Structure 1
Amino acid sequence: MTIQQMHNVGIVVDDLAGAVAFFKELGMELEGEGAIEGLWADQAVGLDGVRCDVAMMVTPDGHGRLELSQYHSPALIPGPRNQPHNVLGTHRVMYAVDDLDDTITRLRRHGGELVGEVAQYGDSVRLCYFRGPAGIIVGLSEYS
């Protein structure tokens, strides 16, 4: 048996509306949103009394999805937000964009900030890591 596709990456946030606005600014579209609760949710995630709101974001090509979740129950467990990228289990999501400088400018208006600097890799790629909502590291790359 093989994997058919990667369906989505899930990230827990503490401000769902703010995270949706950030990823909309990046160019993703809101595919759907709803409330999740019940025995099936408890069983799937291994927690008791799950109650959360989710928003499914999709890339313009329809192939990449990001599931943003804001837990109401059990209580959200805050974690460090500004971990460096080499911490075990640290996640990042990478996107190709058409204008890196413009994207950085627009995302800064939503509270995002560069992790390091914009780097040039070879002759064809400019890239950077950017910290977004809930400390999410978002990789951005521009191919020429």
Structure 2
Amino acid sequence: MPLKRMDNVGIVVDDLDETIDFFRELGLELEGRAAIEGEWAGRVTGLGDQHVEIAMMRTPDGHSRLELSRFLRPPAVADHRNAPVNALGYLRVMFTLDDIDETLERPQARRAARRRSRGLSRHYRLCYIRGPGGLLIGLAQELG
């Protein structure tokens, strides 16, 4: 059976409201929020009896989603927020936008831009920022 699509990327966060606000400001839409708990959920994840708050964020084109999760039980056990870009495993999410400079002037992005790096290739301007909780976010602007 061929792969149909990528449904979402999951990100564990420590402040769900702040992270929702950050991604809204970047242009994602809040699709929904829910609390997931109990043994049935723990059987799926292998975590046993769990309680997690989730929020699903959708890109404006409707093709991509981020699932933001805040674990209340059991608590998060590993912290990759300060990992360098060559660390093993999932690292960052990258968004293409119209204007990096305009985006970085927005309040949430301005706070996140404290730790940013920028680069330029033949086809893109690129910028990495640390969002809420240290999440690594890539921003790309296509060049004409």
The offset of 1:113, in angstroms, is 2.4
Partner of 2:139: helix, strand, or coil? strand
What is aligned with 1:133? 132
Pick which of 33-42 and 70-79 moved more.
70-79
| Whole-Å separation in 1 of the counterparts to 2:133 and 2:89 | 15
Superposition pairs for residues 39-118 of structure 1, below 5 Å? 39-77=39-77, 79-106=79-106, 107-109=108-110, 111-113=111-113, 115-118=115-118
Unaligned runs of 5+ in 2: none
1:47 to 1:86, Cα distance in 2 relative to 1, 3 A:
same
Kindly report the root-mean-square deviation, in angstroms, between the aligned alpha carbons of the 2 structures: 1.5
Q: Secondary structure at the match of 1:113?
A: helix
SS of the residue corresponding to residue 47 of structure 1 reads coil
Q: TM-score with structure 1 length normalisation?
A: 0.91
Q: Output the amino acid matched with 1:86.
A: N
Shift of 1:40: 2.4
**Which whole-Å CA distance do the structure 1 matches of 2:114 and 2:5 have between them?**
31
**Alignment partner of 2:101: what SS?**
helix
Give how far 1:38 is off: 2.0
Matches within 5 A, 1:8-23: 8-23=8-23
Ranges in structure 1 where 5+ consecutive residues have no aligned partner: none
- Contact kept in structure 2, 1:114 and 1:128, CA below 8 Å: no
Give the number of aligned pairs: 142
Q: What is the one-letter code of the residue matched to 1:16?
A: L
Residue 32 of structure 1 corresponds to 32
1:72-99 CA distance string (max 9 Å, x none):
1012325252221111114210100011
